[in-house]
Amino acid sequence: MNDELIYVEPCQEAVMLSGELTVACRSVPEAYLMWGQLALEEKERAVIQVGDDIYDMSAIRRLRYEPVAEPELVAEAA
């Protein structure tokens, strides 16, 4: 089992898909909260799609939110 954390930009739009249920969300954390309300059996089949990436239950549990650094802030830090 892969236990490596997955970092995503929290402000990205996401879609939570569970069977015939499709919920468009304004952010990845919102999709995570929608997924969290599902029954265990539904969570096992549900996925969260962020852009071209699709995350199943094991990946969803490893999601962490990290905003992409602003270009000016990166330049200042260098």
Instruction: Kindly report, residue by residue over 45-65, the tens digit of the pLDDT.
Output: 999 999 999 999 999 999 998
For residue 38, being part of any structural domain is answered with yes
Residue 57: domain span: 6-77
Residue 72 backbone zone (phi > 0: left; psi -120 to 50: alpha; other: beta): alpha
Structure confidence at residue 68 (pLDDT): 58
Provide the number of structural domains found in the chain.
Answer: 1
Confidence of residue 33 (pLDDT cuts 50, 70, 90): very high
Instruction: Decide if 40 contacts 13 (C-beta within 8 A).
Output: no
Beta bridge partners of 41: none
All residues at 6 or more sequence positions from 6 whose CB lies less than 8 Å from its CB, including other chains: 55, 59, 62, 63, 64
Taking the model in full, what pTM does it have? 0.80
pLDDT reported for residue 66: 74
